[in-house]
Amino acid sequence: MDFAAVLAAYDQQIRRDARSEGPRTRVERTGRVVRQTGSPDDWNGVLWSDVDARTADDAIAEQVRHFTAAGREFEWKLHSYDRPADLAERLLAAGFVADPLETVMVTEAAVLPVAPELPEGIRLLPVTDAAGVELMAEAHLAAFGEGDAALSERLGKRILAQLTETPDEIVAVVAMAGDRPVCGARVEFRPGTDFAGLWGGGTAPQWRGKGIYRATVAHRARIAAERGYRYLQVDASDDSRPILNRLGFTTLCTTTPYVYRPRP
């Protein structure tokens, strides 16, 4: 891959020219930022900004006013190449809290294995309805614990809305060990771009290290390639980054969600 060209395409297609995730959300280009606003269950936040040392604080304050007025918690999704260099410090000073850093990784969909190699006793079940989304939520809790219950509930509502309202833009699966869901994963398609996004993949602790995550990546890569998407993109955690490296993914940059929670 041409690293510079792929990074430029990612920045343009996924950030600057972002489109809304569904009918309940809207993407706005206002001032020096691109942001998405939706329901409390949707992702709300800043996708891209063009600010400098002179304009950054005013832009931050404007986003706080906008999302607070809407009653929304939101993220400022800061990438490692964003400017000014002290934007992270400015966000912290404005009351944002940093979530764990993630690594933006990409590969060409066509170069990955064409079929998932599942461990014995595991099958992939397509998720198409509320019952399947419930299994995904159970898998999420098995992977991350009951402390993630609120996030799991919001995520489940968001996925069900996507499956219902924009079914051509998402494919979701849950890995089943007998009748127990142990991993949920999805691929989201971005029409008009070169990129399909891989999300989820957290696996129940007792099933880690057995190839389930790799199998879900291969399954989703095949579907993305069949639909004509050139690249797969992942915001990878520290747990998934080594696996993706071995599969041939390349690091583009890092990203940190800075979260603002309006005071009651």
Condensed to tens digits (0 to 9), the pLDDT of residues 107-120 reads 999 888 767 789 99
Angle between the 130-144 and 149-165 helix axes, to the nearest 10 degrees? 150
- Reduced to 3 states, what is the DSSP secondary structure of residue 252? strand
Regions in the chain scoring below 70 on pLDDT: 114, 147
- Would the CA dihedral through 155, 161, 162, 163 be positive or negative? positive
Q: Is 148 exposed, middle or buried (0-12, 13-18, 19+ CB in 10 A)?
A: middle
What residues pair up with 100 in beta bridges, in sequence order?
A: none
In the block, which residue shows the tokens 């599969």? 247
Residues in the chain: 264
> 257: which 2 tokens?
């969600």
* Whole-structure pTM value: 0.93
Cα–Cα–Cα angle for 211, 215, 221, nearest 5°?
Answer: 145
Instruction: Report pLDDT for 264.
Output: 73
**DSSP string for 95-151:** T-EEPPPEEEEEEEGGGS-SS--PPTTEEEEEE-SHHHHHHHHHHHHHHH-GGGHHH
Task: List, in order of start, the domains of the chain with CATH numbers.
Answer: 3-103+256-260 (3.40.630), 108-253 (3.40.630.30)
Nearest residue to 61 (alpha-carbon basis) of 42, 40, 77, 76: 76
Instruction: Report pLDDT for 23.
Output: 74
Instruction: Report pLDDT for 130.
Output: 97
Three-state SS annotation for 44-105: CEEEEECCCCCCHHHHHHHHHHHHHHCCCCEEEEEECCCCCCCHHHHHHHCCCEECCCEEEE
Q: 193: which DSSP letter? A: S
**What is the tens place of the pLDDT at every residue in 117-153?**
899 999 999 999 999 999 999 999 999 987 677 888 8
